[in-house]
Structure 1
Amino acid sequence: MEGLLLPLLLMLVLAVPLIMGTRKQKKAAAQQQELQSSLAPGDRVMTTSGLYATVADATDESTIDLEIADGVVTTWLRQAIRERIDPAAADDVEDEDSADEDTADESATATSDADSDSESVTTAQVAEPLEHKK
Protein backbone atom coordinates (compact mmCIF):
# COMPACT_ATOMS: atom_id res chain seq x y z
CA MET A 1 0.00 0.00 0.00
CA GLU A 2 2.84 2.40 0.86
CA GLY A 3 4.46 1.66 -2.49
CA LEU A 4 1.39 3.05 -4.31
CA LEU A 5 1.10 6.24 -2.24
CA LEU A 6 4.07 8.04 -3.81
CA PRO A 7 3.07 7.42 -7.47
CA LEU A 8 -0.54 8.40 -6.74
CA LEU A 9 0.58 11.58 -5.00
CA LEU A 10 2.89 12.43 -7.91
CA MET A 11 0.07 11.90 -10.43
CA LEU A 12 -2.24 14.10 -8.35
CA VAL A 13 0.33 16.90 -8.20
CA LEU A 14 0.74 16.80 -11.99
CA ALA A 15 -2.95 16.38 -12.83
CA VAL A 16 -4.41 19.26 -10.78
CA PRO A 17 -2.59 22.12 -12.63
CA LEU A 18 -3.47 20.55 -16.00
CA ILE A 19 -7.16 20.38 -15.09
CA MET A 20 -7.17 23.95 -13.75
CA GLY A 21 -5.44 25.24 -16.90
CA THR A 22 -7.96 23.50 -19.13
CA ARG A 23 -10.86 25.04 -17.20
CA LYS A 24 -9.34 28.51 -17.56
CA GLN A 25 -8.93 28.05 -21.33
CA LYS A 26 -12.52 26.88 -21.72
CA LYS A 27 -13.80 29.88 -19.77
CA ALA A 28 -11.74 32.31 -21.90
CA ALA A 29 -12.96 30.66 -25.12
CA ALA A 30 -16.58 30.90 -23.97
CA GLN A 31 -16.17 34.60 -23.15
CA GLN A 32 -14.62 35.26 -26.56
CA GLN A 33 -17.41 33.36 -28.33
CA GLU A 34 -20.04 35.33 -26.41
CA LEU A 35 -18.35 38.63 -27.30
CA GLN A 36 -18.21 37.77 -31.00
CA SER A 37 -21.86 36.74 -31.09
CA SER A 38 -23.08 39.83 -29.20
CA LEU A 39 -21.56 42.45 -31.53
CA ALA A 40 -23.99 44.98 -32.97
CA PRO A 41 -23.65 47.84 -35.46
CA GLY A 42 -22.09 50.90 -33.86
CA ASP A 43 -19.88 48.95 -31.43
CA ARG A 44 -16.23 50.05 -31.28
CA VAL A 45 -13.90 47.03 -31.52
CA MET A 46 -10.22 46.12 -31.80
CA THR A 47 -9.09 43.27 -34.04
CA THR A 48 -6.38 40.75 -33.24
CA SER A 49 -4.02 42.73 -35.48
CA GLY A 50 -4.61 45.91 -33.44
CA LEU A 51 -6.95 47.71 -35.87
CA TYR A 52 -9.60 49.91 -34.23
CA ALA A 53 -12.92 50.02 -36.09
CA THR A 54 -16.66 50.42 -35.77
CA VAL A 55 -19.03 47.55 -36.53
CA ALA A 56 -21.03 48.41 -39.66
CA ASP A 57 -22.90 45.12 -40.25
CA ALA A 58 -23.08 42.01 -38.09
CA THR A 59 -25.81 39.98 -39.79
CA ASP A 60 -23.60 37.17 -41.17
CA GLU A 61 -22.67 34.33 -38.81
CA SER A 62 -19.04 33.96 -39.87
CA THR A 63 -18.04 37.46 -41.04
CA ILE A 64 -18.49 41.02 -39.83
CA ASP A 65 -18.20 44.35 -41.68
CA LEU A 66 -16.02 46.94 -39.98
CA GLU A 67 -15.82 50.63 -40.82
CA ILE A 68 -12.17 51.62 -40.43
CA ALA A 69 -12.58 55.19 -41.74
CA ASP A 70 -15.46 57.33 -42.98
CA GLY A 71 -16.97 55.39 -45.87
CA VAL A 72 -14.33 52.61 -45.80
CA VAL A 73 -15.94 49.28 -44.87
CA THR A 74 -13.98 46.02 -44.81
CA THR A 75 -15.14 42.45 -44.18
CA TRP A 76 -13.45 40.40 -41.44
CA LEU A 77 -13.93 37.00 -39.86
CA ARG A 78 -15.69 37.26 -36.52
CA GLN A 79 -12.79 35.40 -34.90
CA ALA A 80 -10.55 38.38 -35.73
CA ILE A 81 -12.38 40.56 -33.19
CA ARG A 82 -10.30 40.65 -30.03
CA GLU A 83 -12.26 43.00 -27.77
CA ARG A 84 -14.99 45.59 -27.56
CA ILE A 85 -13.68 49.07 -26.78
CA ASP A 86 -15.40 51.15 -24.12
CA PRO A 87 -16.47 54.46 -25.74
CA ALA A 88 -15.57 56.43 -22.59
CA ALA A 89 -12.01 55.05 -22.60
CA ALA A 90 -11.62 55.88 -26.31
CA ASP A 91 -12.73 59.47 -25.64
CA ASP A 92 -10.13 59.80 -22.86
CA VAL A 93 -7.37 58.69 -25.25
CA GLU A 94 -8.53 61.18 -27.90
CA ASP A 95 -8.60 63.99 -25.30
CA GLU A 96 -5.02 63.20 -24.26
CA ASP A 97 -3.90 63.20 -27.91
CA SER A 98 -5.51 66.59 -28.57
CA ALA A 99 -3.90 68.00 -25.40
CA ASP A 100 -0.49 66.76 -26.61
CA GLU A 101 -1.07 68.41 -30.01
CA ASP A 102 -1.99 71.72 -28.32
CA THR A 103 1.23 71.62 -26.28
CA ALA A 104 3.27 70.86 -29.40
CA ASP A 105 1.62 73.79 -31.26
CA GLU A 106 2.42 76.17 -28.40
CA SER A 107 6.07 75.10 -28.26
CA ALA A 108 6.39 75.44 -32.06
CA THR A 109 4.94 78.97 -31.87
CA ALA A 110 7.36 79.88 -29.08
CA THR A 111 10.28 78.55 -31.14
CA SER A 112 9.25 80.50 -34.23
CA ASP A 113 8.90 83.69 -32.16
CA ALA A 114 12.42 83.19 -30.79
CA ASP A 115 13.76 82.65 -34.33
CA SER A 116 12.17 85.85 -35.62
CA ASP A 117 13.71 87.83 -32.75
CA SER A 118 17.25 86.81 -33.65
CA GLU A 119 19.00 89.14 -36.11
CA SER A 120 21.08 86.58 -38.00
CA VAL A 121 19.06 84.41 -40.33
CA THR A 122 20.72 81.51 -42.06
CA THR A 123 19.56 80.24 -45.41
CA ALA A 124 20.06 76.80 -46.84
CA GLN A 125 22.32 76.45 -49.83
CA VAL A 126 21.09 74.27 -52.62
CA ALA A 127 23.45 72.70 -55.13
CA GLU A 128 22.69 73.10 -58.80
CA PRO A 129 21.23 70.03 -60.52
CA LEU A 130 23.62 67.66 -62.23
CA GLU A 131 23.55 67.53 -65.99
CA HIS A 132 23.27 64.04 -67.39
CA LYS A 133 25.02 63.27 -70.66
CA LYS A 134 22.89 61.74 -73.34
Structure 2
Amino acid sequence: MVFDPFTIIMLAVLAVLIFFMFRNSRKRQADMRDLQSKIVPGAKVMTNFGLFGTILAIDEEENRVELKAGPGTVLTVHRQTIARVVDAADETAASTAVVEGEPEFGERVDEAPGDETPDVKKSDD
Protein backbone atom coordinates (compact mmCIF):
# COMPACT_ATOMS: atom_id res chain seq x y z
CA MET A 1 0.00 0.00 0.00
CA VAL A 2 1.47 3.36 -1.10
CA PHE A 3 0.80 6.55 0.86
CA ASP A 4 1.02 9.82 -0.95
CA PRO A 5 2.45 12.90 0.86
CA PHE A 6 -0.99 14.53 1.21
CA THR A 7 -2.35 11.56 3.17
CA ILE A 8 0.68 11.51 5.47
CA ILE A 9 0.34 15.26 6.16
CA MET A 10 -3.38 14.92 6.88
CA LEU A 11 -2.76 12.05 9.33
CA ALA A 12 -0.03 14.06 11.07
CA VAL A 13 -2.34 17.09 11.44
CA LEU A 14 -5.08 14.83 12.81
CA ALA A 15 -2.67 13.33 15.36
CA VAL A 16 -1.54 16.81 16.50
CA LEU A 17 -5.16 17.97 16.90
CA ILE A 18 -6.05 14.91 18.98
CA PHE A 19 -2.95 15.45 21.15
CA PHE A 20 -3.89 19.07 21.88
CA MET A 21 -7.53 18.16 22.60
CA PHE A 22 -6.49 15.65 25.28
CA ARG A 23 -3.90 18.04 26.71
CA ASN A 24 -6.43 20.88 26.97
CA SER A 25 -8.98 18.56 28.58
CA ARG A 26 -6.51 17.43 31.25
CA LYS A 27 -5.46 21.02 31.95
CA ARG A 28 -9.08 22.12 32.38
CA GLN A 29 -9.78 19.20 34.74
CA ALA A 30 -6.72 20.07 36.84
CA ASP A 31 -7.80 23.72 37.04
CA MET A 32 -11.29 22.66 38.13
CA ARG A 33 -9.88 20.35 40.85
CA ASP A 34 -7.67 23.20 42.07
CA LEU A 35 -10.65 25.58 42.20
CA GLN A 36 -12.83 23.06 44.06
CA SER A 37 -10.11 22.56 46.67
CA LYS A 38 -9.98 26.33 47.31
CA ILE A 39 -13.76 26.66 47.80
CA VAL A 40 -14.10 26.60 51.57
CA PRO A 41 -16.17 28.66 54.00
CA GLY A 42 -14.58 32.07 54.53
CA ALA A 43 -13.03 32.29 51.05
CA LYS A 44 -13.70 35.39 48.97
CA VAL A 45 -15.01 34.38 45.54
CA MET A 46 -16.37 35.77 42.28
CA THR A 47 -19.26 34.12 40.47
CA ASN A 48 -19.72 33.66 36.71
CA PHE A 49 -22.09 36.63 36.65
CA GLY A 50 -19.65 39.00 38.38
CA LEU A 51 -20.92 38.91 41.96
CA PHE A 52 -18.25 39.11 44.66
CA GLY A 53 -18.89 37.58 48.04
CA THR A 54 -17.65 35.51 50.94
CA ILE A 55 -18.66 31.86 51.32
CA LEU A 56 -20.65 31.25 54.48
CA ALA A 57 -21.70 27.62 54.01
CA ILE A 58 -21.48 24.84 51.43
CA ASP A 59 -24.18 22.18 50.95
CA GLU A 60 -22.43 19.23 49.27
CA GLU A 61 -25.62 17.18 48.74
CA GLU A 62 -27.53 19.85 46.81
CA ASN A 63 -24.47 21.69 45.37
CA ARG A 64 -25.48 25.00 46.93
CA VAL A 65 -23.27 27.73 48.34
CA GLU A 66 -24.40 30.55 50.61
CA LEU A 67 -22.59 33.79 49.78
CA LYS A 68 -22.47 36.93 51.87
CA ALA A 69 -22.58 39.69 49.24
CA GLY A 70 -22.91 42.62 51.62
CA PRO A 71 -24.00 43.50 55.13
CA GLY A 72 -27.17 41.51 55.77
CA THR A 73 -27.29 40.08 52.22
CA VAL A 74 -26.97 36.31 51.94
CA LEU A 75 -27.45 34.67 48.54
CA THR A 76 -27.79 31.00 47.69
CA VAL A 77 -26.17 30.03 44.38
CA HIS A 78 -25.23 26.79 42.66
CA ARG A 79 -21.72 25.63 43.41
CA GLN A 80 -20.68 25.61 39.75
CA THR A 81 -21.39 29.33 39.35
CA ILE A 82 -18.27 30.15 41.37
CA ALA A 83 -15.73 31.20 38.74
CA ARG A 84 -12.67 31.88 40.88
CA VAL A 85 -11.36 32.45 44.36
CA VAL A 86 -10.22 36.05 44.84
CA ASP A 87 -6.86 36.39 46.53
CA ALA A 88 -5.71 39.44 48.48
CA ALA A 89 -3.18 40.12 45.70
CA ASP A 90 -6.00 40.19 43.12
CA GLU A 91 -7.93 42.75 45.17
CA THR A 92 -4.97 45.12 45.55
CA ALA A 93 -4.03 44.83 41.86
CA ALA A 94 -7.58 45.63 40.80
CA SER A 95 -7.82 48.62 43.13
CA THR A 96 -4.47 50.13 42.06
CA ALA A 97 -4.91 49.58 38.32
CA VAL A 98 -5.32 53.23 37.34
CA VAL A 99 -4.12 54.42 33.95
CA GLU A 100 -2.04 57.57 34.20
CA GLY A 101 -3.43 60.55 32.36
CA GLU A 102 -6.94 59.12 32.14
CA PRO A 103 -9.66 60.60 34.36
CA GLU A 104 -11.33 58.33 36.87
CA PHE A 105 -15.03 57.60 36.60
CA GLY A 106 -16.99 60.75 37.46
CA GLU A 107 -13.93 63.02 37.40
CA ARG A 108 -14.37 66.24 35.43
CA VAL A 109 -11.89 67.23 32.78
CA ASP A 110 -11.25 70.97 32.36
CA GLU A 111 -9.62 70.89 28.95
CA ALA A 112 -11.53 70.48 25.71
CA PRO A 113 -10.25 68.11 23.03
CA GLY A 114 -7.36 69.35 20.88
CA ASP A 115 -9.59 70.30 17.92
CA GLU A 116 -8.82 74.00 17.48
CA THR A 117 -10.77 74.63 14.28
CA PRO A 118 -14.33 75.85 14.71
CA ASP A 119 -17.15 73.93 13.13
CA VAL A 120 -18.27 76.09 10.19
CA LYS A 121 -20.75 74.84 7.65
CA LYS A 122 -19.94 75.82 4.11
CA SER A 123 -22.84 76.97 2.03
CA ASP A 124 -23.60 75.57 -1.39
CA ASP A 125 -23.58 79.06 -3.05
> TM exceeds 0.5?
yes
Q: Take 2:4 and 2:17, find their aligned partners in 1: how far apart are those partners?
A: 21
Q: Tell me the TM-score normalised to structure 2 length.
A: 0.63
Residues 23-62 of structure 1 aligned to structure 2 (within 5 Å): 23-61=23-61, 62=63
| Unmatched tracts of structure 1, length 5 or more | 108-134
State how many pairs are aligned: 102
Q: RMSD between aligned alpha carbons?
A: 2.9
- 1:59-89 residue CA offsets vs partner (Å, 9 max, x unmatched): 4251211111112111111111111111133
Amino acid in the other structure paired with 2:70: A
Correspondence 1:89 to 2:90? yes
Deviation at 1:10, TM superposition (A): 1.4
Fraction of identical pairs, as percent: 29
1:78 corresponds to: 79
Larger radius of gyration: 1
CA distance 1:5–1:65, shift in 2 (3 Å): same
1:27 to 1:95, Cα distance in 2 relative to 1, 3 A: closer
User: Is the 2:38–2:85 contact (alpha carbons within 8 Å) kept by the matching residues of 1?
Assistant: no
- Provide, for residues 85-119 of structure 1, a one-character-per-residue CA deviation record: whole Å limited to 9, x for no partner: 1113314434678xx69xx5xx8xxxxxxxxxxxx
Alpha-carbon distance in 1 for matches of 2:94, 2:10: 50
TM-score normalised according to structure 1 size: 0.60
